[in-house]
Every structure is written in C-alpha cells, then in structure tokens.
Chain A
Amino acid sequence: MLTALLVMTAVALVLGALLGYASLKFKVEGDPLVEKIDAILPQTQCGQCGFPGCRPYATAIASGEADINQCPPGGEEGIRKLADLLGREFKSLSEEHGVEKPKSVAVIDENTCIGCTLCIQACPVDAIVGAAKQLHTVVAGECTGCELCVAPCPVDCIAMEPITETVDTWKWRYPVIQIKQAA
C-alpha cells in the first residue's frame, strides 16, 4: 500500500514538475482564439452585445464572460459559426440584446439636420461627414448600420433604411429540387 502511494506520488511529482517547466518555457502571449472570434463577428461595432465594440465582445467570449448569442447583427448564422468554432451548442439570439434586422444604412434627412455633429461623434466607423453648423451626410458604403447615430440626434433626422437588392448584389437562387413524382 505504502509502495503504491509512494510510486503514484513520485510519478505525479515528476510529471507535475515537467508540466510546470513546460508551461513556463513555452509560454505564449496573446490569445489566437480572440482573433478567430473577431473574424466571425460582423464588425458593426454597434455595442448591442453590451461591449464597446466587436473586439471587446470577442475577448469576453474567449474568456467565457459573455455568451455567444448576444450579437443581433450577426444573426443566427453568426451564432452558428461561433458555436462551430467553440464546439458549443447552438442557442437562439438572446432577446435582451435585440432582434435580427435586415441590413440597413443610416440616412440623414438633409432638410432637418442642424449640423450639431453629435452623430459624427457617435459613429464608430467615421462614416458620417460634416462639420459644425454644416449639413451632415452618411457615406453609405462605409455605414455598418449600427444605429448608434440615431439616438444622439436632437432633431430625429436620422432614419435607418434597409439596403435594397441591386443587380450587383443580386444572387442566383438555390435550384428547386423537384421531388420525383410517384406513378
């Protein structure tokens, strides 16, 4: 009995020492997982997940502080990809963080805009151009549709307009599979 205990303790000590040495010797800085999660997130930087941007959310997922279903712009597909990457179960979008909407861009009503620059400061991707007391406008190509500029506007002149399909973005549909007719 004593021999058994001694042997096991010795083996455990040797292996533990080996592991400890290895973990010091082969220490790696940074977390490659964060990069991978960040690549899946839609980069709207909207903050609906409760974190100030996509990267902080990715860090939070990697460290286990946040769940994978807090990103409404990423939608079901995004959650599915995250679940695949992290080997977790798929779960539907958490309602407290918002609902999945069609992709939109912000549009400023040029008749109402007073040039207060509040939306410019709110925009996370610098997609609004303008200056104090000058008309502002949204660069549609850079807008991520995060809606962060809507709330600060004192005259409610920003509206979200869904992106319509154009010839350049039109997609061929999946061919309908015809079921073989009986008889």
Chain B
Amino acid sequence: MSSYLFVILGAVLVNNVVLVRILGLCPFMGVSKKLDAAMGMGAATTFVLTLGCGTSYLIDHYVLIPAGVEYLRTLAFIVIIAAIVQVTELVIQKTSPVMYQVLGIYLPLITTNCAVLGVPLLNVSLRHDLVESLLFGFGSSVGFSLALVLFAGIRERLDGADVPAPFKGTAIAMITGGLMSLAFMGFAGLDKYR
C-alpha cells in the first residue's frame, strides 16, 4: 500500500513533471497569466492524463506487445491522447457548458502538451502495472496543476511589480520558473526518509 503512496508523492513533489522533469513547459508559460485559467487547465489536464495513462497501458499491454510492435508506442499513444482530448471536449461541451466556457481553448491545447505524452511513456519505462500507471498519471497531473497554479499566482503579482524594463514579461516569468524549479529540487531530500 505504501508503495502506491510513494508513487503519488514522488510524482507530485519529488519528480514534479514540470519543475523537475521539465516537461509541458508550453502550457506552463502560456496559461499561467490568470489564476482562474490555470486552475481550469490543471483540472482538464488531470482528467485527460489519468484517463490517458490507463488507456495507453491497456493498449500497450493487450495490443502492441502481443503483436510485437512496441516500436509504435509513441505513435499509438499520441493518437489515443488526441482522441481522448477530443471526446472529453465534446462531452464537457454537452454536459457542462459552464465548465466548457471556463476551460475554453485550453482543452484542445492539452493534445500538444508533451507532459501528457511523456507520462505514459515514463510509465512504460518504469514498468508500472495498471494501478501504478493510473496513480502515476494522477500524481503527475496533480503536480502539474500545483506548479501551474503556484506560478500563476506569482505571475499575477508580478504584474504590479517594478520589474526592470529588459526583464518585463516572459523574461521575468522564465526566471521565476527557474527559481521555482530550484525550490522543488529541495523535495529530493524526501528520499532519505523512505
């Protein structure tokens, strides 16, 4: 049981998908100007990534490996994720128009999020079973949301700060992201108490 906890905690903090593995930087920089948008993006990504990890595990184990075509993983996973994103979008649009309005253009953007492809591939290389895959996917997306929301909160405050002219805009955001990444390195120390 505790190994599952380690999978989740490790994915959220120690190996944070954005700040430590440096995956999914485009939404991290692009959708972090407003806190509300960041939260919406986090929620959508959590849903898609968890579902994507489960589905890709099943496809990998019951289609690709029996057929001996493991080298098609990247291709197959991309197709799966794209389809999941599209279906999610349609379902949300129908069932909850309010949620659809909140998420807006960020939903289709998830398709191009490298974190969403990276995590299923990591699942394969870490030899996770189905439950571990799901937990790892969920943990990674929670870590992604956490980083995104923290970063959006900081950036909202940066709007009012006296930033030197050459550093205004994306430059100071990059520096901030770097500092956050350094701070998350500190979680590696959790390893000692395993």
Contacts and interface: CB of A to CB of B under 8 A. Distances in A.
The answer on direct contact between A and B (beta carbons under 8 Å) is: yes
B72 A19 contact: no
Contact of A11 (B76, B87, B91): B76
A10 B83 CA distance: 14
Given A12-B79, A19-B86, A32 B72 contact: no
A23 interface: yes
Contact of A7 (B67, B91, B93, B94): B67
A64 interface: no
Given A15-B79, A26-B91, A32-B101, A7 B63 contact: yes
A8 to B, nearest CB: 6
Interface of A is mostly: helix
Interface in B10-38: none
A4 interface: yes
Given A11-B59, A11-B76, A11-B80, 10 more contacts: A4-B72, A7-B69, A8-B72, A10-B63, A11-B79, A22-B87, A25-B94, A26-B95, A32-B100, A36-B101
- Most-contacted residue by chain B among A7, A19, A27, A86 (CB, 10 A): A7
Contacts of B95: 26
Can you list the 7 inter-chain pairs with the closest CB atoms, starting with the nearest? A26-B94, A15-B83, A26-B90, A4-B69, A22-B90, A22-B87, A3-B67
B186 interface: no
B105 interface: yes
Contacts of B64: 7
B86 A22 contact: yes
B1 interface: no
B28 to A, nearest CB: 16
Contact of B87 (A3, A10, A18, A86): A18
B68 A3 contact: yes
Contacts of B71: 4
A87 B37 CA distance: 13
A28 interface: yes
Nearest to B64: A7
Interface of A: 3-4, 6-8, 10-12, 15, 18-19, 22-23, 25-28, 32, 36, 86-87
Nearest to A4: B69
B161 interface: no
Given A8-B72, A32-B100, A87-B105, A18 B83 contact: yes
Given A22-B90, A23-B90, A26-B93, A15 B101 contact: no
B76 A8 contact: yes
B83 A3 contact: no
A15 B86 CA distance: 10
Interface in B61-109: 63-64, 67-69, 71-72, 75-76, 79-80, 83, 86-87, 90-91, 93-95, 97, 100-101, 105
A22 B85 CA distance: 12
Contacts of A26: 90-91, 93-95
5 contacts: A3-B68, A7-B69, A10-B63, A18-B87, A32-B100
